[in-house]
């Protein structure tokens, strides 16, 4: 039973470690994506301003270019937000797995305690059955001896009554 329990806990620990590793990897990817997004936004803004300055674009054209850059940034931020949500979901799963693991551990502990009680009860009953079997054998032997003594006494009585007649 304890080898099954330890095997179960090793498997649960391995699953938790794998999920934690995945969460850490997603967090690293998220941070890298954030930095890349910020760097790219700055590069785009600088490039747009440089292009606008070089071409001597009018203010309206510059506004359109900046609006396009802003839309690109908003799409990247939305993607980043989705990754954030996925990381939060995985963290929730890890916490849920840890909580479930704790509940299973408690259940296994209770079952082990119940099994221990049953084993002790079984041993006690085995001893009592052995004692009762010995008592039964003693009673049988005593009854056999008493039956023999009664038969002998009856025989002697019959013999005495026969002598008296």
The reply to whether 160 falls in a domain is: no
Q: What's the total number of domains in the chain? A: 1
Domain that holds residue 126: 2-135
pLDDT band, residue 150 (cuts 50/70/90): very high
The reply to whether 148 falls in a domain is: no
Is pLDDT of 57 > 60?
no
* 83 or 133, which is more confident: 133
Quote the CA–CA distance of 139 and 132 in Å, as a whole number. 10
The reply to whether 143 falls in a domain is: no
Cβ(138)–Cβ(38) below 8 Å: no
Listed range (3-7, 74-78, 131-135) with the worst mean pLDDT: 3-7
The reply to whether 111 falls in a domain is: yes
Is pLDDT of 67 > 90?
no
Q: What is the pTM of this model?
A: 0.40
Provide the mean pLDDT of the chain: 81
């Amino acid at each position: 039973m304890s080898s099954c329990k330890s095997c179960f806990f090793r498997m649960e620990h391995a699953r938790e470690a794998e999920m934690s590793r995945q969460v850490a990897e997603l967090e690293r990817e998220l941070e890298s994506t954030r930095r890349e997004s910020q760097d790219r936004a700055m590069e785009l803004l600088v490039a747009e301003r440089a292009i606008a300055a070089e071409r001597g674009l009018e203010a309206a054209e510059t506004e359109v270019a900046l609006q396009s850059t802003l839309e690109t940034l908003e799409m990247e931020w939305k993607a980043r937000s989705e990754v954030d949500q996925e990381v939060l979901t995985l963290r929730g799963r890890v916490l849920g797995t840890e909580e479930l693991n704790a509940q299973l551990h408690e259940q296994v502990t209770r079952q082990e305690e119940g099994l221990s009680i049953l084993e002790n009860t079984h041993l006690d009953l085995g001893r009592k059955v052995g004692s009762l079997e010995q008592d039964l054998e003693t009673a049988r032997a005593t009854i056999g001896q008493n039956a023999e003594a009664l038969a002998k006494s009856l025989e002697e009585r019959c013999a005495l009554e026969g002598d008296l007649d």
